[in-house]
Chains A and B, each alone.
Chain A
């Protein structure tokens, strides 16, 4: 048995929610608060910090642990606010965890929302290079796969048109095409299939199946679309209010999710 590609140990992410009194931070407010805290500190060096008393902690993700084997296709499910997106943000290093740690073996790329990093003024051709770089591809890699990407997206004709003149469908197809030709060992996907017509959705799922089967890539997939999850994933992880509620075969997890 090989080592897990992703192991998550006691992962937590807390956010501080401020209540009424400490509303919007302005520069003056926080400068005075900082000053007050400093004076307080000098006068009573050993008392606990009082400035943070009226802050409440919100546990977006609370003590979550799991492991993922190479080549797994894992669906992450849960209601709105269960912590799915927070988990993905932590895995993709967008935010830092409050506690716990993640060990990943392999290159990670994520597809959090299509068209991230597309610039409306640039042409389709230029955006392929830009988006590739943002997703972590080298220029030479993009160059090597350029024709494939263009063919998959089906926007050959409009390659030199600024993407701001694209229809939203064309936009999504081009964005997915770039991301689908990434070659990371671990691919994180969040809700991408929410847009695009059903034919293109099928094409995407087929492509993702293809990728993970033939090349043993690991995929983490977040979606509310249960049929998409069912056709793509083998295993599932169910999150509930920031905690791990279940993990196992995708059908069992989906059953459990739909029962509640």
Chain B
């Protein structure tokens, strides 16, 4: 019964070809909407996504003195602090890779994730005027926060060039796998962002919980240290954090450090699950947005 109804719905949405060849747009509004129609809408509104992404990127560093330099400065200062604490004071090993390099690679991935989540979780609230006034698939809004952090990420990644020169370090063929790990980071970030931004509309508790969770998160991810310093019996538990496997992967592709396979597999599985879970939670709550925001 349900399937049949969904089928009818789809049929209605087809644009009827008129006799003279022009297309007639027919829109049927009813309670409840099918997924295929939602995905179609997402595609139809791709231009809005691009322009909102462009808006957020442009606006991010407006009225700052050093502007885009901030996106380089923040991970760089983080790297210096973490190198001092974890390498100079705590004396942790680094698989024979210059310590600042290991930290910087992880710092970029971490900041990409944490920026996406922290901007994204507030994004629906910040755009409440749009949500209560205009229709578009709401998924676009938290997605644009990913493009903003991705821009930051790409710019700050350029710092690797002078760093590699300075430490006379050259990545080998494994670097071709780097985009794959960045892609995984995108999945994790989007999944978390969809989930939290949707919940944040109704439960503003997340507004307080998220900054705190992100502050702790950097210490349970292998940012200031390498994963092999984690004792063997804790390793699997440690790998439940999908970023652990991703960061290990990035270090493997850049520096050729050993890769712990179970952790990577878990990261891949958890990333995909997070994205799917985030999407479904978002969709379930989206219907109420305009009424509760």
* A230 interface hit (Cβ, 8 Å): no
Q: How many angstroms between the C-alpha atoms of A197 and B33 in the bound complex? A: 42
Interface residues of B in 254-287 (CB under 8 A from A): 287
Q: Mark B12-34, 1 if CB is under 8 A from A, else 0.
A: 00000000000011111111110
* B35 interface hit (Cβ, 8 Å): no
The one of A25, A30, A102, A130 in contact with B28, judged by C-beta atoms closer than 8 angstroms, is A102
Q: Are B63 and A121 in contact, with the CB atoms below 8 A?
A: yes
* A196 interface hit (Cβ, 8 Å): no
Q: Which residues of A contact B24 (CB under 8 A)?
A: 105-106
Interface residues of A in 54-113 (CB under 8 A from B): 89-108, 110, 112-113
Q: Are B28 and A101 in contact, with the CB atoms below 8 A?
A: yes
Q: Which of these binds chain B: A43-51, A134-142, A243-251?
A: A134-142
Q: Are A117 and B28 in contact, with the CB atoms below 8 A?
A: no
Tell me the interface secondary structure of chain B in the complex.
mixed
Q: Which residues of A contact B47 (CB under 8 A)?
A: 133, 138-139
Q: Which residues of B contact A221 (CB under 8 A)?
A: none
Q: Which residues of A contact B32 (CB under 8 A)?
A: 96
Q: How distant is A178 from chain B, measured CB to nearest CB, in Å?
A: 13
Q: Are B25 and A107 in contact, with the CB atoms below 8 A?
A: yes
Q: How many angstroms between the C-alpha atoms of A165 and B255 in the bound complex? A: 51
The one of B59, B134, B205 in contact with A27, judged by C-beta atoms closer than 8 angstroms, is B205
Q: Which residues of A contact B51 (CB under 8 A)?
A: 129-130, 133, 139
Q: Which residues of A contact B131 (CB under 8 A)?
A: 94
Q: Which residues of A contact B52 (CB under 8 A)?
A: 130, 133
Q: How many angstroms between the C-alpha atoms of A97 and B30 in the bound complex? A: 6
Q: Which residues of B contact A96 (CB under 8 A)?
A: 29-33, 287
* A116 interface hit (Cβ, 8 Å): yes
Residue of chain A at shortest CB distance from B288: A95
Partner-B contacts on A (CB < 8 A): 15, 25-27, 30, 89-108, 110, 112-113, 116-117, 119, 121-122, 126, 129-130, 133-135, 138-139, 185
Closest 3 interchain pairs by CB?
A93-B135, A27-B203, A133-B51
Question: What are 6 A-B contacts defined by CB distance under 8 Å?
Answer: A94-B135, A94-B290, A96-B31, A101-B29, A103-B26, A134-B48
